[in-house]
């Protein structure tokens, strides 16, 4: 079982797992950059990120008026 499958087994959707894994790989990033990297629509990435924030898996800071997302330190 790979990490993507483990994340889905732990309750994340397929898109949530993709976005989370990309954030793990690159560290901090804007939603736009995540969308480009994984080939997902930017608005969908924002929706997925908001779900991950609600689940406590992702957080963000604001740098130069932009939201920069990262994985939460649990």
pLDDT, position 61: 95
What pLDDT sits at residue 1? Answer: 79
Residue-averaged pLDDT of the chain: 93
d(CA 2, CA 41): 24
φ and ψ of 22, to 5 deg: -65, -40
Please give the torsion angle defined by the CA atoms of residues 14, 39, 36 and 59, in that order, rounded to the nearest 10 degrees: -10
pLDDT at 74 over 60: no
pTM: 0.90
């Amino acid at each position: 079982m790979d990490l993507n499958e483990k994340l889905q087994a732990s309750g994340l959707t397929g898109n949530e797992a993709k976005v989370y894994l990309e954030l793990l790989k690159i560290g901090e990033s804007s939603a736009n950059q995540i969308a480009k990297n994984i080939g997902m629509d930017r608005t969908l990435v924002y929706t997925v990120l908001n779900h991950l924030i609600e689940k406590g898996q992702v957080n963000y800071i604001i740098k130069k008026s932009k939201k920069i997302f990262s994985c939460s330190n649990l």
